[in-house]
Chain A
Amino acid sequence: GIQVEQSPPDLILQEGANSTLRCNFSDSVNNLQWFHQNPWGQLINLFYIPSGTKQNGRLSATTVATERYSLLYISSSQTTDSGVYFCAVGASGTYKYIFGTGTRLKVLA
């Protein structure tokens, strides 16, 4: 089955710093989503981005489907950005989503 890997696994930033999170996937996909899991466990939809580039405030994402990767950019990080970031891909021909291993982000004040 399709493999989804995220890097880095852990990231510590000072407030105000920028960061790039990466999601690599091993096969063609129909969907790709980025989620933020907050300390209470809630999964917050950040982007639905099977291809192209999107921006929402301080966050932006780019997916290059032909090269099988997606990037999530966080600019001017805030302590509330702390948590775990997951990418999830929808395997072609199915309704299943496969989650990546996650990047645990901690933003220090």
Chain B
Amino acid sequence: SQTIHQWPATLVQPVGSPLSLECTVEGTSNPNLYWYRQAAGRGLQLLFYSVGIGQISSEVPQNLSASRPQDRQFILSSKKLLLSDSGFYLCAWSAMTDYQPQHFGDGTRLSIL
């Protein structure tokens, strides 16, 4: 069966520090991969999605970037964190074939001080 792993579960970082969040999927090949952010009490905002290695689509201009160095690995990064980057970050995957459901990881709670 397929599983998705995100780490760390929580993270506290100072303003101006770099960020790297990792997401990996097991048990499937060529998944579509997604990064979302959820502000406190709000809905989910799609940040990036990827349909293949090295292919990244950005949905919202911001201080973040994403990379997909391997088929089942998706990384969210920042060179310098802002206070507004605080939030709950969720990774998801769906099968590569058309119109498949998404499956989510447990998320990372990021606090910027």
> Size band of the A side of the interface?
20 to 34
> Size band of the B side of the interface?
20 to 34
Q: Are B59 and A33 in contact (CB under 8 A)?
A: no
Q: Are B106 and A97 in contact (CB under 8 A)?
A: no
Q: Are B104 and A43 in contact (CB under 8 A)?
A: yes
Q: Are A102 and B103 in contact (CB under 8 A)?
A: no
Q: Would you call B7 an interface residue if the criterion is a C-beta within 8 Å of the partner chain's C-beta atoms?
A: no
Q: Are B106 and A41 in contact (CB under 8 A)?
A: yes
How far is A100 from B44 in the complex, measured between Cα atoms in Å? 8
Q: Are B101 and A31 in contact (CB under 8 A)?
A: yes
Given A41-B106, A41-B107, A41-B109, residue A90 in contact with residue B99 (CB < 8 A):
yes
Q: Would you call B46 an interface residue if the criterion is a C-beta within 8 Å of the partner chain's C-beta atoms?
A: yes
Q: Would you call A74 an interface residue if the criterion is a C-beta within 8 Å of the partner chain's C-beta atoms?
A: no
Min C-beta distance of B14 to chain A, whole Å: 23
Q: Would you call A48 an interface residue if the criterion is a C-beta within 8 Å of the partner chain's C-beta atoms?
A: yes
Q: Would you call A50 an interface residue if the criterion is a C-beta within 8 Å of the partner chain's C-beta atoms?
A: yes
Q: Are B99 and A86 in contact (CB under 8 A)?
A: no
Q: Are B88 and A41 in contact (CB under 8 A)?
A: yes
Q: Which of B57, B59, B104 has the most chain A CB atoms inside 10 A of its CB?
A: B104
Name the 6 nearest CB pairs between A and B, nearest first.
Answer: A48-B101, A43-B104, A99-B44, A30-B99, A99-B43, A95-B32
Which B residues are within 8 Å of any A CB, using their own CB?
A: 32, 34, 36, 38, 43-46, 49, 51, 57, 59, 88, 90, 94, 98-104, 106-107, 109
